[in-house]
Structure 1
Amino acid sequence: MKRIVIALLFFFGLTQVNAQVTFKPGLRAGLNLSKITQSDASTRTDFYIAGFGELKLTKYYTLQPEISYSKQGGNDVLVEVYNNQTGNYDAFKQDISVDYISFAIVNKFTFNDKFNMHFGPTIDFQAGQSRFTQSDVDLAFLLGLGFNVTKDLSIEARLKKGVIDIYETDYFSNNSYDVGNYNTNFLFQLGVSYTFDLK
């Protein structure tokens, strides 16, 4: 009898969990503020846009795969480029723009049906060419907060930090104390997300 009761409780709990699982597609868009670490670059302002699938597994936890297009880089970066005519390196300021197609697995935790926290890994593929990058792929981690304005509309803020030395260090001035040799992507995003109710 005890085993039957346990089995019934397990079955009831499983059906309750399954009853909470929902899926909604959505869109994210907003402002990018990007920098290149260990450089004297100023912040570059641009945009991002993304599509995602919101798989709500419990009341508090959502698994959210994302695909996004993100314009990043840095402005006024001190670079050195070899001059074939003079045989010397010319140092100057350069705005660097790099476009990425990003794939993320976001873990989202919701509190009080209003506030949510999200974090997870991303893999980014460079969309186009840049003379100052030394890798077409970047790995990064994101951490963010969100506020649900309605059940479908949210305001979000995220930090994203790359871990790969993405920029060609030969082009960066080693004579400047403001420039290091481990130059990664650092990104702040502020925007909105909207989910579409399929019911």
Structure 2
Amino acid sequence: MKKRVITIICFVLIGIVQSNAQVTFQPGVKGGVVFSRLTNFDSDFMTGFYLGGQLAIKFNKLYTLQPELVYSQQGANSNYSDLLIDNYYNESIITVNNSVKHSLDYLCLGAISKFSFGTGFHVIVGPSLDFKVNDNFDKSYFYSDSPIGFDFAIVGGFGFSFPNGLSLDARFKQGVVDIYGNNYNTNIDNNNNGNYDEVVLNQSFQLGLSYSFDIK
């Protein structure tokens, strides 16, 4: 009986060792362009960039867990018009068009799940906890409120990985926390609905490259 127990334990330990031996670690770098906007903000897309590092923890051919630490430029462009009265000539009203760039820079900590297919294509999904490192809202023309210091976002997308460690990614990132920290569930209207059309959220599209180093 003892021999059987010892034999079973040996087989279990061998299986664990072999399983762990299949797990590989590949550090890497990543960067690309960000097209971002703010919902319910009367704004257009702003172009920025992201840059950072990643660690691909590959459990098998299908699944890879990929922690990431990325600096990301986000925000939005707003256009507005001023009406100026020209009294000196003929008291005409002059319309002046202006543009304001609202910057929100984050340090993003992500936990991306990457599902790979044999052809090199992959699908990615995961959460991202973003910490604000800079913004210019106190310098804006008519938005004087300062955004809160963090955001939580969901990331999804797809890409293609080459055998040499280079990958192409296209991602959509949706924030779920109001940038001012407002809880619009407490603002109830006559129909018992919150003012969800006032929620200001980060939203962005990302196109980029990453390179994973082989440390074998």
TM-score category of the 2 structures, normalised to the smaller one: 0.7 to 0.9
Q: After TM superposition, give the deviation of residue 134 of structure 1 in Å.
A: 2.5
Contact 1:77–1:96 (Cα < 8 Å) also in 2: no
TM-score under structure 1 normalisation?
0.79
Q: 3-state SS of the aligned residue for 1:128?
A: strand
CA distance in 2, matches of 1:129, 1:46: 13
Please give the alpha-carbon distance, in whole angstroms, between the structure 2 residues aligned to 1:165 and 1:78: 23
Q: Deviations over 1:3-59 (max 9, x none)?
A: 677656544433332121111110110110101112321111111011011111222
Report what 1:159 is aligned to.
Answer: 172
Matched, 1:198 2:198: no
Instruction: State the identity %.
Output: 40
Shift of 1:95: 1.7
Counterparts of 2:60 and 2:80 in 1: how far apart (Å)? 49
Structure 1 CA distance for aligned equivalents of residues 50 and 34 of structure 2: 6
Unaligned runs of 5+ in 2: 82-97, 138-142, 183-196
Letter of the 2:51 counterpart: I
Letter in 2 for 1:19: A
- Count of residue pairs the alignment pairs up: 178
Partner of 2:199: 182
1:137 offset after TM fit, Å? Answer: 0.7
Q: 1:98 deviation in Å?
A: 1.2
* TM-score using structure 2 length: 0.73
Q: Which residue of 2 aligns with 1:146?
A: 159
Partner residue of 2:130? 124
Structure with greater Cα Rg? 2
1:160-186 Cα distance to aligned partner (Å, 9 max, x none):
1001110488xxxxxxxxxx4211000
RMSD of equivalent CA atoms? 2.5
SS at match of 1:40: coil
Secondary structure (helix, strand or coil) at the match of 1:138 reads strand
- The DSSP-based 3-state class of the residue aligned with 2:21 is helix
